[in-house]
Amino acid sequence: MAAAGGEVEVIKVLGGWPSPFVMRARIGLNIKGREYELVEEKFGSKSELLLKSNPVYKKIPVLLHGDRPVCESMIIVQYIDEVWDGPPILPSDPYDRAVARFWAVYIDDKWFPSLGGIVRAESEEAKAEAVSQVFAGLQLLEGAFEECSKGRGFFGGDAVGYLDIALGCFLGWLKASEKMTGVKFLDEARTPLLVGWAERFCSDAAVKEVMPEADRLVEFAKILQAAASRKSAPAPAPAPAPAPAAE
């Protein structure tokens, strides 16, 4: 892809395939029809490029637009929308933009931590509480969809937009959680609007090539759980000091 002046435009995304936050940047670029390179970060380590590009938080994703890094997933999505031509991602109306941003913050600060809490729960009571919070959040988001979509197919209207990306990037992990817990989170009885939206979102051309399979995420979750177990295991007792040698 050539930039202004005939120079080749270099776009890279630092991240990993399982990350829903990395997926946000990739969907945004796909909506705008931009070619980019996914630079995979190795699980459990941070590359020099990542540390240089995001020295404050030291985490993925990072969008590299030439030599300029942009950090934080929803900031990246907004940057993509403002920099490149193509279908709009953020709503054009200022109030609609404010509402979309509000729900995006809710998803990251409240809803997704509840979903992650199911896997991290150390007791059945904690797990049940996390499941309850996920369901309560989905009920709120069902209402948000009804308000924001105005009867159309997506939160953003007729096409995938800002809030669709904010929530939709977690659908793979939601399905993986269903497989791991046996709990059906999205069903017609509780959230019929979100069920239909989720099917449309995952089938969208900008999404389907980057949405990870639930079974693959389950296997990755097992790796995370094993790593967490090793970290929390008590340190082995020090070996006894050797007996002094006989004279």
Q: 109 and 58: one domain?
A: no
Q: 69 and 105: one domain?
A: no
Q: 57 and 105: one domain?
A: no
Tell me, what CATH number does 24's domain have? 3.40.30.10
Q: 121 and 21: one domain?
A: no
Please state the domain count of the chain: 2
Tell me, what CATH number does 163's domain have? 1.20.1050.10
Q: 126 and 168: one domain?
A: yes
pLDDT digits (tens, 9 = 90+) for 114-161: 998 887 788 899 989 999 999 999 999 999 999 999 999 999 899 999
Predicted TM-score (pTM) of this structure: 0.89
Q: 109 and 204: one domain?
A: yes
Domain that holds residue 32: 4-83
- Residue 240 domain-assigned (yes or no): no
Q: 99 and 36: one domain?
A: no
Q: 61 and 149: one domain?
A: no
pLDDT digits (tens, 9 = 90+) for 34-57: 999 999 999 889 999 999 999 999
Listing DSSP states for the chain in one string gives -B-GGGPBPPEEEEE-TT-HHHHHHHHHHHHTT---EEEEPPTT---HHHHHH-TTT--S-EEEETTEEEESHHHHHHHHHHHS-SS--S-SSHHHHHHHHHHHHHIIIIIHHHHHHHHH-SSHHHHHHHHHHHHHHHHHHHHHHHHHHTTSSBTTBSS--HHHHHHHTTHHHHHHHHHHH----S-TTT-HHHHHHHHHHHHSTTTTTT---HHHHHHHHHHHHHHHHHHHSPPPPPPPPPPPPP-
Q: 203 and 105: one domain?
A: yes
